Amino acid sequence: MLKITPYLGILVLIVSIGGLWYPALGYFMLLIFAAIFLISPFRGRWFCGNLCPRGSFVDFWVSKISRKRRIPDVFRNLWVRLPIFFMLMGFMGYRVASTIGSYNTFEKIGMIFVMMCLVTTSIAIILGSFLSPRAWCSFCPMGTAQRLIGGKKYPLKLTKEKCINCNKCDKVCPMQLKVREDDAKPDCIKCGRCVSACPKDALQF
Predicted TM-score (pTM) of the model is: 0.92
Query: Which pLDDT tens digit goes with each residue over 112-137?
Result: 999 999 999 999 999 999 999 999 99
For the chain, what percent of residues have pLDDT higher than 70? 100
Is 1's pLDDT higher than 90?
no
- How far lies 15's CA from each of 25, 68, 114, 129, 138, in Å? 6, 26, 6, 21, 22
Residue 132, CA atoms < 13 Å, CB-side half-sphere: 19
Is 181's pLDDT higher than 90?
no
Is 171's pLDDT higher than 90?
yes
Q: Number of folded domains in the chain?
A: 1
Task: Provide the 3-class DSSP secondary structure of residue 158.
Answer: strand
Phi, psi of 86 (to 5 degrees): -65, -35
Query: Which pLDDT tens digit goes with each residue over 134-154?
Result: 999 999 999 999 999 999 999
Tell me if 171 is assigned to some domain. Answer: no
Tell me if 199 is assigned to some domain. Answer: no
DSSP H or E stretch at residue 139:
none
Give the DSSP letter string of 171-197. HH-TT---TTSSS--TT-----HHHHH
The mean pLDDT value for 170-191 works out to 93
Domain of 87 in residue numbering reads as: 5-151
Tell me if 96 is assigned to some domain. Answer: yes
Tell me if 159 is assigned to some domain. Answer: no
Is 102's pLDDT higher than 90?
no
Tell me if 189 is assigned to some domain. Answer: no
Tell me if 176 is assigned to some domain. Answer: no
Tell me if 26 is assigned to some domain. Answer: yes
Query: Which pLDDT tens digit goes with each residue over 6-63?
Result: 999 999 999 999 999 999 999 999 999 999 999 999 999 999 999 999 999 999 999 9
Tell me if 36 is assigned to some domain. Answer: yes
Find all residues with CB under 8 Å of 192, minimum gap 6, and list them.
1, 49, 205
The pLDDT of residue 103: 84
